[in-house]
Structure 1
Amino acid sequence: MRVLFPHLSNVTVDAIAVLGKSPRIRARCTGPGGVCPACGTSSRRVHGRYLWTLADTAVVGRAADIELTVRRFFCDAVARRKRTFAEQVDGLTVRYGRRTPAVQRLLERVALALGGQAGGRLITHMGVPTSGSTLLRMIHRLEVPAPRRVEVLGMSTPTASTLPPSTFAMPSDQMPQGTPAPKPWATSAATPRPLHWPREQCGGGFNRSSQRRQQGTTYGMNCGVVSKR
């Protein structure tokens, strides 16, 4: 039992029943006493007992729960207004919780990885049926870790691939060191890039330009036919 259910090592298992298709483990606390979570006072005076049902991890793909008999003790601290408290079991119970810590960690990891709807569908197949809204509430309740101190901060040298296009409209004497020379058609913002190459740079494509212009053909940068009017 301790090998398969290590979180039940601090309680006594009385029976294991099957309700429908789901196994239920009936257990009880047998410790000598309890410790008040508010003031830390130990007590052995039992006030009463009650049943605490906890959702546990799946057993062979089936949703399982634990029916735990918990004792309530008197707190002998004079300054406290609340005179009773319920005992807690390490690794099994959390104050006001309805799930074991193992199930809580599983749900939080699925919620962070998949979110609400997708996480709800996956966790149902894992034997822990939970709605997507519950997973989203778990994400909102998580504490945001504090940012770590930055020990090393690196900066890359600006290059032609990382600089924005507007950089090449700057004067050459104001450009960062190492920036390649700007293209001849974009030396300044006042001289925009032409839409077509000059005729003398298009080779033999313009040998019959007059004939093609009469046919209503427009030439592009690659000296090929772009469109017809």
Structure 2
Amino acid sequence: MDELQTTLQSLVVGDSGILIDTITMQAQDCQITAHCTTLVASCPSCATPSSSVHSRYRRRLADRTVGTTSVTLQLTVRRFRCRNHGCHQQIFAERLPALMAPHQRSTIRLAHAFQTMGLALGGRPGARVAQTLGMPTSHTTMLRRIHQLPIPPITTPTAIGIDEWAWRKRTAYGCIVVDLHTNRVLDLLPDQAQSTIVTWLRQYPSIQIVSRDRGGGFAAAITAALPTATQVVDRWHLIKNYGEALEAALLSKRAVLRAACTPPESAADVPLIDPFVGALTRTGRHGPDAPMLEADIAARRERHAVLCALHAQIHTLRATGADIVSIAKMVSTTRATVYRYLAMETPPDWVQPRRRTTLDPYKAFLLQQWSAGCQSPRQLWRMIRAQGFTGAETVVTRYLAFMGCQKTKPRPMIHPTYALNNGRIPSAGHTAQWVLLAPMRRTANQQAFLDAVAAADPDCATLITLSEQFLAMIRANEAAALTAWITAAITTTTGHLHRFAQRLRQDEAAVRAGIAGPWSNGPVEGQIHRLKLLKRQAYGRASLALLRIRLIAQPPATAPP
């Protein structure tokens, strides 16, 4: 017992002026009785030392577990008389700041443990983890402990990033401010109103650099609050906005994209797949002799007819002068769909939904081995299982039947552009993604397709050339040619890309600083990702105060033993 008492003396009370009297062990519970040994205590109001004991009382404190054993400390605390007759507090209890806070029923160590778990997990999850560790508490206590943490003060930030975050997507937004030197969150703002942003920025005139995206009204707010600060447009948002403009421009060039996929004359004998038929065959093969499921084919044609009618209705309403919001309400669709259909001169093509399977990484290998002479489905299944495939043999058998593989070498049933986009005409979105890729990162099929698109239409060739020049500037962090690029884009393009270039000219200084400078909104996006995680941990019910303290407050330092 003496050895146990010495160990607990160092682990539980340490050198805080407390001496353990008795230790009682019951199953997984340890009851410790102790008393204070200091001779003098200071009045908390006037700091006058006193050695005159008035009375004693017992405090019961919960402490952290030692291993799997819960610890409860029953401490005898003294009351003293204040010797300063002018002090309003004539009687006071001695303070033990290294062990416990006034009026608390737990030690500081236990409170710090709850705060650390609460910051990481939240209320109910933190309480469940604490229960598992032998420190039972309620979720309200866990939240109360979190709110007791102090918010670190904001000193003199010089470079910040600002962006919006969604309270509720497309409904309510707030703002997040991050220090780009330390990558730490400085503050959460309850909304994205310009007045709110201006008020916050004016509190910190030391700010010299502000990184932002191209939306949300940030430019006007920063100019109003900090006219001498350098604004920086984030490069990732710049490429994202350009990609959206490029995709919108390519939507009107679907005939060119279709022409670029037209099979050559030498491949005229290769049968192509009817987009409405796809894989709908009773035998699972693409062959022309396979019977079709007429009901499913008719359903696909009917759904495509609905899309064509929607396209015609949107264009008709727009021709009568209706605005975008009114059209979206009248045809019961979203504004994004209205914009996309207005940019399309012809109705949309039918695209068969693609389903990803566990066999996808091994399909090329299977067809290669089949063509090389290995035509046993079981042997092929064993070969890919050795490579990591986890599916059944029937999956391989059905795929080989689906591809029309017989005991003889199978003939190609899909145009060679199959490797490009599974045999379908690439969409405007896919084409824009390939244009945004660096030339050395494109596959041979992607590069050949882009070359065919450029050769088929001069406007598309101009779009691809401008895109490669713009992205080369961003990747090389060289903004010297930005003005010339904007001028060329305005004079040689129309529509979405023309408007994009005009908006760049209005914000050219910030765009130039974003391309050539080292600053970006990467740390801000990372903190927004973390904020989304905290929101979802709380099932969307966390208040701004709780989100702010969990995002900004630091876990307490490890308490002394």
TM-score (norm 1): 0.72
After superposition, the Cα gap between the structure-2 partners of 1:142 and 1:157, relative to the gap in structure 1 and judged at 3 Å, is closer
1:122 aligns with 2:129: yes
Distance 2:79 2:120 in 1: 38
1:97 aligns with 2:173: no
After superposition, the Cα gap between the structure-2 partners of 1:204 and 1:223, relative to the gap in structure 1 and judged at 3 Å, is farther
**1:203 aligns with one of 248, 262, 272:** 262
Alignment of 1:29-48 (within 5 A): 29-48=36-55
Alignment of 1:56-67 (within 5 A): 56-67=63-74
After superposition, the Cα gap between the structure-2 partners of 1:166 and 1:119, relative to the gap in structure 1 and judged at 3 Å, is same
After superposition, the Cα gap between the structure-2 partners of 1:82 and 1:19, relative to the gap in structure 1 and judged at 3 Å, is farther
Identity between Structure 1 and Structure 2 (%)? 29
Distance 1:93 1:47 in 2: 21
After superposition, the Cα gap between the structure-2 partners of 1:166 and 1:50, relative to the gap in structure 1 and judged at 3 Å, is same
After superposition, the Cα gap between the structure-2 partners of 1:64 and 1:47, relative to the gap in structure 1 and judged at 3 Å, is same
Instruction: Kindly state the Cα deviation for residue 107 of structure 1 after the two structures are TM-superposed.
Output: 0.8
Which range is displaced more, 13-22 or 64-73? Answer: 13-22
Aligned to 2:241: 165
**Structure with a larger share of its residues in helix:** 2
1:194 aligns with 2:194: no
Instruction: Kindly state the Cα deviation for residue 146 of structure 1 after the two structures are TM-superposed.
Output: 1.2
Q: Is the 8 A contact 1:7 1:91 kept in 2?
A: no
Aligned to 2:325: none
Distance 1:225 1:167 in 2: 21
Q: Deviations over 1:183-218 (max 9, x none)?
A: 8x82xxxx953343366534337998xxx9xxx996
Aligned to 1:176: none
Equivalenced residue count is 204
Q: Name the SS of the counterpart of 1:37 in structure 2.
A: coil
Q: Name the SS of the counterpart of 2:129 in structure 1.
A: helix
Question: Larger radius of gyration, structure 1 or 2?
Answer: 1
Instruction: Kindly state the Cα deviation for residue 223 of structure 1 after the two structures are TM-superposed.
Output: 11
Alignment of 1:1-229 (within 5 A): 1=6, 2-7=9-14, 9-19=16-26, 21-152=28-159, 162-165=238-241, 186=249, 193-197=252-256, 200-204=259-263
Instruction: Kindly state the Cα deviation for residue 47 of structure 1 after the two structures are TM-superposed.
Output: 0.9
After superposition, the Cα gap between the structure-2 partners of 1:103 and 1:161, relative to the gap in structure 1 and judged at 3 Å, is closer
Instruction: Kindly state the Cα deviation for residue 130 of structure 1 after the two structures are TM-superposed.
Output: 0.8
Instruction: Kindly state the Cα deviation for residue 20 of structure 1 after the two structures are TM-superposed.
Output: 5.9
After superposition, the Cα gap between the structure-2 partners of 1:193 and 1:50, relative to the gap in structure 1 and judged at 3 Å, is same
Q: Which amino acid aligns with 2:256?
A: W
TM-score (norm 2): 0.32
Q: Is the 8 A contact 2:16 2:98 kept in 1?
A: no
Q: Which amino acid aligns with 1:204?
A: P
Which range is displaced more, 70-79 or 194-203? Answer: 194-203
After superposition, the Cα gap between the structure-2 partners of 1:224 and 1:168, relative to the gap in structure 1 and judged at 3 Å, is closer
Instruction: Kindly state the Cα deviation for residue 53 of structure 1 after the two structures are TM-superposed.
Output: 0.7
Aligned to 2:173: none
Instruction: Kindly state the Cα deviation for residue 45 of structure 1 after the two structures are TM-superposed.
Output: 1.1
Which range is displaced more, 118-127 or 1-10? Answer: 1-10
Instruction: Kindly state the Cα deviation for residue 19 of structure 1 after the two structures are TM-superposed.
Output: 4.8
**Structure with a larger share of its residues in strand:** 1
Distance 1:223 1:12 in 2: 77
Which range is displaced more, 136-145 or 14-23? Answer: 14-23
Instruction: Kindly state the Cα deviation for residue 135 of structure 1 after the two structures are TM-superposed.
Output: 0.5
Say which structure, 1 or 2, has more relative contact order (CA 8 Å, 6+ apart): 2
Instruction: Kindly state the Cα deviation for residue 65 of structure 1 after the two structures are TM-superposed.
Output: 0.9
Aligned to 2:314: none
Q: Is the 8 A contact 1:7 1:92 kept in 2?
A: no
Instruction: Kindly state the Cα deviation for residue 63 of structure 1 after the two structures are TM-superposed.
Output: 1.6
Instruction: Kindly state the Cα deviation for residue 131 of structure 1 after the two structures are TM-superposed.
Output: 1.2
After superposition, the Cα gap between the structure-2 partners of 1:69 and 1:225, relative to the gap in structure 1 and judged at 3 Å, is closer
After superposition, the Cα gap between the structure-2 partners of 1:157 and 1:17, relative to the gap in structure 1 and judged at 3 Å, is same
Instruction: Kindly state the Cα deviation for residue 160 of structure 1 after the two structures are TM-superposed.
Output: 7.7
Gaps of 5+ in 1: 170-181
Gaps of 5+ in 2: 1-5, 160-179, 181-208, 212-231, 278-348, 352-416, 426-561
Q: Deviations over 1:60-107 (max 9, x none)?
A: 312211111110001122333321000022421221111111111111
Q: Which amino acid aligns with 1:131?
A: S
Q: Which amino acid aligns with 2:50?
A: S
- RMSD over aligned CA atoms reads 3.6
Q: Which amino acid aligns with 1:163?
A: I
Distance 1:223 1:99 in 2: 64
Instruction: Kindly state the Cα deviation for residue 14 of structure 1 after the two structures are TM-superposed.
Output: 0.9
After superposition, the Cα gap between the structure-2 partners of 1:196 and 1:22, relative to the gap in structure 1 and judged at 3 Å, is same
Distance 2:350 2:62 in 1: 74
Distance 1:89 1:110 in 2: 25
Aligned to 1:177: none
Q: Deviations over 1:164-199 (max 9, x none)?
A: 436875xxxxxxxxxxxx68x82xxxx953343366
Instruction: Kindly state the Cα deviation for residue 136 of structure 1 after the two structures are TM-superposed.
Output: 1.1
Q: Name the SS of the counterpart of 2:102 in structure 1.
A: coil
After superposition, the Cα gap between the structure-2 partners of 1:96 and 1:158, relative to the gap in structure 1 and judged at 3 Å, is closer
Distance 1:158 1:14 in 2: 64
